[in-house]
Structure 1
Amino acid sequence: NKLGLHARAAAKLVSVASGYGADITLEKAGQRVNGKSIMGVMMLAASRGTVLTLTANGEGEDEVLRALVELIDNKFGEGE
């Protein structure tokens, strides 16, 4: 969204990711963090236009990736 991955958006991402058994990793410029950790996601300081790589491994990996892509495509429910 226009503010990047700010606290509210990061919390939504972590909430969705935490609902699945798969391990979730976000990566920005070589820095990798646990996608189920709000502190880790916030440490990425991902502003608008930042390229993030999202990976999932384990039980429900396809489902969690679909759910996270939907969340991102819907701009975290914030409309912008």
Structure 2
Amino acid sequence: MMQQRVTISNRAGIHARPAALLVEIAKDIKSSIYIEKGSDRINGKSIMGILTLGAAYGTELNIITEGEDEKEALEAIVRLFESKFSEE
């Protein structure tokens, strides 16, 4: 299991487009992906789960990957957050 904290730095937060980008990356990943916001933990491969987090600008999330490609999975997801979902 690997995990890393990320902060949402795109001004619009996690809305439909960023959630869809997360799911697009996650579909090719064999590992389990979880996203935690406070005490809430959702499946990172579920667009509805991601949207229900209500993660706005400045929100801290914990990304957790577990499985055979967990390192690559975590790196890909963190890169997406660091790129601000290509929105800015």
The reply to whether TM is greater than 0.5 is yes
Mapped to 2, the partners of 1:2 and 1:77 lie a distance apart of 11
Counterpart residue type for residue 68 of structure 2: E
Paired residues, number? 79
- The corresponding residue for 2:72 is 63
Q: State the TM-score, normalizing by the size of structure 2.
A: 0.86
What residue identity is the alignment partner of 1:51? Answer: E
CA distance in 2, matches of 1:18, 1:33: 15
Q: Whose RCO is larger (CA < 8 A, sep 6+)?
A: 2
Task: Select which of 32, 47, 54 maps to 2:56.
Answer: 47
* Separation (CA, whole Å) in 1 of partners of 2:79 and 2:64: 15
Structure ranking higher in strand proportion: 2
Identity of aligned residues (%): 47
Whichever structure has more helix as a proportion of its residues is 1
Is 1:26 the counterpart of 2:35 in the alignment? yes
TM-fit CA distance, 1:7: 0.8
Deviation at 1:78, TM superposition (A): 1.3
Gaps in structure 2 of 5+ consecutive residues: 1-9
State how far apart, in whole Å, the 2-side matches of 1:44 and 1:18 are. 19
Structure 1: tracts of 5 or more residues without a match: none
Q: CA RMSD in A?
A: 0.7
